[in-house]
A and B are shown apart, each in its own frame.
Chain A
């Protein structure tokens, strides 16, 4: 029976009215900061690539390590965090029929706090007072304002976390016996993980502020590094969880299919939330002062992430094949041809998913003890995170833009813009394949990372790295072209594309699918398990590092 207009407005106001303009403003503001950061970070990335290849010499007022620090923080923290908040708040608004006004206020408070923090951090880097790299752990010491800026960034993220928790609780209270829409469930997973991930780094930063001010003479470097990787490793999986929300829920709709079992999707989210944080020590696998048993535990916990990842791989292959076959695909791989490769909303996340195969395999190499000895602190690691973050995550984010931004700005994705998006995706893919591919190979040959000059007086081994470094430079140049195209596309879709209605593409379950189980909504229990796993992994080693502390380190400036 057809619904009356009144019933439609009551039951599904978005169908008639579209997105709430106030909610759209929140998301668009975060996305604006994200893509301005991407542009600046991308330019800095290309400069690094060219300097590393010996093609340019940066001026004395802008050295390699300043550029490296700004590139890392602007892209890995600012771009990903602001994009995630913009996207997840849009998901929440769509799923819940609008944000609560106090939640919107929290999002604006978070926005202001993050902006203040980013300005403080950036100014300190520009003034050459904070060339401490993206990881910023001791003994390298920045100006205190740099760390205070980071506190503001974390407070901004926490404001957004609390906003999500409040809106979720309100919705659950008003919908007893119902499971939350799947995208809102993803948002809960993302922000819970973010909150608990940032606790470690917040403690670290609070110990570094008095140390950098000279109020405390020394700091415990081991504890600082450990607290950083509690956050740093989890951040990677926060991006991954955000990307998988689009893979599981958005991509099936775009290709004309249905999403995989909601029970499995929810299980993957819960596993990623519970298992994620205690993988940090695999970044410190060659550090002294950590017992073999603790390292073994963390290697095991890192590898446990492979379980939900492999579940995701199976589920996505299933969805793609089932849809491709429904569209007439035959044979072993004929279904692949039936997928909409000319639609950027599919193409970009599809390439992102494919790249997660070598990206995930590289992650298993990194976390294996003996294999880590081969690749530790080499360009392999840089190649690894460029293929995982730079393709699996970022290309998914780019693909999301082509429906999310027109939806929020009440505009349309034109065929011309779709074509630009397809070209951008190929430019980005080729650029990253050249850059990350050569980084992987030259890393295996021993080329170190985080070093501006690796000629080592013309030693023959160092000379053998140069051709690969030239390929980085070519890749980095293509990537900057990709950034410029993407930023153009984003702001065009935000302000200049033709007005119109754009669908928020959320896939439906299969007709015979069983309803999502209510037990998955027990976030209290998942958080208890998360805390138990964190305690198991961190209490003993951190207590040991404090009780048997090596001599502390004074602040060190190497620049």
Chain B
């Protein structure tokens, strides 16, 4: 019990500081930009 407490608080602190959700969200944003751009460019190429 005594040994697990510091590990738990360390894990909690690590979890509080984690930014993996931000990385994922920024990735989604980038994907939306790329997918939208490529889709319209594909339509352009199809029409020229």
Contacts and interface: CB of A to CB of B under 8 A. Distances in A.
Interface of A: 310, 313-314, 317-318, 321-322, 324-326, 330, 332-333, 335-336, 357-358, 360-362, 364-365, 368, 370-371, 373-375, 444
A326 B36 CA distance: 34
Nearest to B30: A310
B26 A364 contact: no
Contacts of A371: 37, 40-41, 44
Question: Top 8 closest A-B pairs, CB basis?
Answer: A317-B22, A361-B33, A361-B36, A321-B21, A317-B25, A371-B40, A325-B16, A374-B44
A310 B27 CA distance: 11
B11 to A, nearest CB: 10
A520 B45 CA distance: 45
Contacts of A317: 21-22, 25-26
B4 interface: no
A336 B24 CA distance: 12
A255 to B, nearest CB: 14
A69 B40 CA distance: 29
Contact of A313 (B18, B21, B26, B44): B26
B33 A364 contact: yes
- Report whether over half of chain B's contact residues are helix, strand or loop; otherwise say mixed: helix
A443 to B, nearest CB: 10
B22 A332 contact: no
Interface in B11-29: 15-22, 24-26, 28-29
Nearest to A335: B21
B4 to A, nearest CB: 18
- Report whether over half of chain A's contact residues are helix, strand or loop; otherwise say mixed: helix
Nearest to A366: B40
B22 A374 contact: no
B38 to A, nearest CB: 10
Contact of A361 (B19, B22, B32, B47): B32
B33 to A, nearest CB: 4
A167 to B, nearest CB: 36
A374 B47 contact: yes
23 contacts: A313-B29, A317-B22, A318-B22, A321-B18, A321-B19, A322-B16, A322-B17, A325-B17, A326-B16, A330-B15, A332-B24, A333-B21, A333-B24, A357-B29, A358-B32, A360-B33, A365-B36, A365-B37, A365-B40, A371-B37, A371-B44, A374-B47, A444-B40
A370 B47 CA distance: 11
B36 A362 contact: yes
B43 interface: yes
A2 B5 CA distance: 37
A362 B37 CA distance: 8
Contacts of A360: 33
Given A317-B26, A325-B15, A357-B29, A332 B20 contact: yes
A355 B21 CA distance: 18
A332 B22 CA distance: 9
A322 to B, nearest CB: 8
A313 B27 CA distance: 11
A458 B19 CA distance: 55
A444 B40 CA distance: 8
Contacts of A325: 15-18
A321 B22 CA distance: 7
A368 B37 contact: yes
Nearest to B23: A317
Nearest to A369: B44
Contacts of A333: 21, 24
B22 A370 contact: no
Contacts of B41: 368, 370-371
Contacts of B44: 370-371, 373-374
A379 B15 CA distance: 45
A374 B43 contact: yes
Contacts of B26: 313-314, 317
A368 B42 CA distance: 13
A357 B16 contact: no
B44 to A, nearest CB: 5
Nearest to A371: B40
A330 B21 CA distance: 10
Contacts of B16: 322, 325-326
A303 to B, nearest CB: 11
Contacts of B21: 317, 321, 324, 332-333, 335-336
A335 B18 CA distance: 11
Nearest to A325: B16
A394 to B, nearest CB: 21
A32 B40 CA distance: 41
A324 B17 CA distance: 11
A441 to B, nearest CB: 11
B8 to A, nearest CB: 13
Contacts of B22: 314, 317-318, 321
A364 B37 contact: yes
A333 B33 CA distance: 21
Given A321-B22, A325-B15, A374-B40, 14 more contacts: A310-B29, A318-B22, A321-B19, A322-B17, A322-B19, A325-B17, A333-B24, A335-B21, A358-B32, A361-B32, A361-B37, A370-B41, A371-B37, A371-B44
